[in-house]
Amino acid sequence: MKVPILLSFASTLLMTANSLNAEATARSIEIGPDYQDAAELHITSEIQRGTIEKFVMESKDSALYPGIAKNREGTVPYSRKVAVYLPFNLDSNKTYPLLVVQDGTGYIDVVSKSLDALIAQKRVPAMVAILIASGGGDAQGSERGLEYDTLSGKYAEFIETEVIPRVEKDYKVKITTDPEGRATMGGSSGAAAAFTMAWFRPDLYHRVLSYSGTFVNQQSPLNPESPHGAWEYHENLIPNAAKKPIRIWMEVSEHDNGYDRDEASLHNWVMANDRMAEVLKAKGYEYRYVFAKDAGHTDGRVTKQTLPAALEWLWQSYPR
């Protein structure tokens, strides 16, 4: 595995085959092009392992997301899979920190193994993780797009009012309401959703983990208050707002979506994540930004190499 290289704020990247101008970046670490699973994912010794519970949520039971059709006429039923990671030796009298994972059923293995190892080694606090799928589809006009790419506090409200209460009731667990004890993560639009949860509801979430974040113009339906969708975060919202109590670990890949597109497209993931890091740095946010060489969009090799260390960094300063 290649040793990570620390980069300065003035470091530059040749952006595209379209001869885009190289931009100064705020990258913290460069990894690759060779990747290796983190050791925490292959611990063979006996450790105290958490458990995974699963259930399904039906759209007919949701007040906030009853399902949408492409033409916005009527509703389209869907089922949403949810997995819950419960730490070893769960204590019903204890209040636990929380990790919410968007597109979560695809992350069950890597998240549960990472948490098992990190909790056993006391590198993160014992926590509950809710790994939740979207309502389906992708991008503009889809239920997933509506939930993940919309710039509002609605998705955070959905998790707060329709998901957490069910988890607490069904599994006899107490989840903290302290935003310092709550993290949210995802990849692609799920990462944008994670940041949106903290941005619009910093009273609920202070910690964000992002892989290949969709900080581009993917919002649907259109909103005149944020005409460029999540591109607005680095273009306007973060630079023009007071610093919020958000700590963020973020990653982008060399060959991420739209890496060869120009700025006018508002759909270059590398450019968007570079600019997110730049404005976060300028505003004094606590952030870590990883650039993965010779990797693609939400590259599983990158996740398996980085997630344990990313979670450890994200939960720094929180009591064990």
> Domain of 200?
5-314
- Per-residue pLDDT at 248 exceeds 80: yes
- Give whole-number Cα distances, 201 to 157, 245, 249, 293, 304, in Å: 9, 11, 18, 33, 29
For the cut 70, the answer to whether the pLDDT of residue 16 exceeds it is: no
Does 10 reside within a domain?
Answer: yes
Q: Tell me: the pLDDT tens digits for 172-217?
A: 999 999 999 999 999 999 999 999 999 999 999 999 999 999 999 9
Domain assignment present for 198: yes
pLDDT at 283 over 80: yes
Q: Residue 176: CA atoms inside 13 Å, Cβ hemisphere, count? A: 23
Structure tokens that stand for 89 in this block: 């030796």
Report the pLDDT averaged over residues 88-100: 96
The 10s digit of each residue's pLDDT in 110-136 is: 999 999 999 999 999 999 999 999 998
Whether the predicted pLDDT of 71 surpasses 90: no
CATH code of 173's domain? 3.40.50.1820
Backbone phi, psi, residue 24, to 5°: -65, 140
Question: Does 320 reside within a domain?
Answer: no
Asked whether residue 31 is domain-assigned, the answer is yes
Residues 134 and 144: their CA atoms lie apart, in Å, by 5
Instruction: Note whether residue 319 is domain-resident.
Output: no
* Burial group, residue 242, by CB count within 10 angstroms (0-12, 13-18, 19+): exposed
Mean pLDDT across the chain, nearest whole number?
Answer: 90
Tell me how many domains the chain contains: 1
Is 60 exceeded by the pLDDT of residue 2?
Answer: no
pLDDT of residue 5: 29
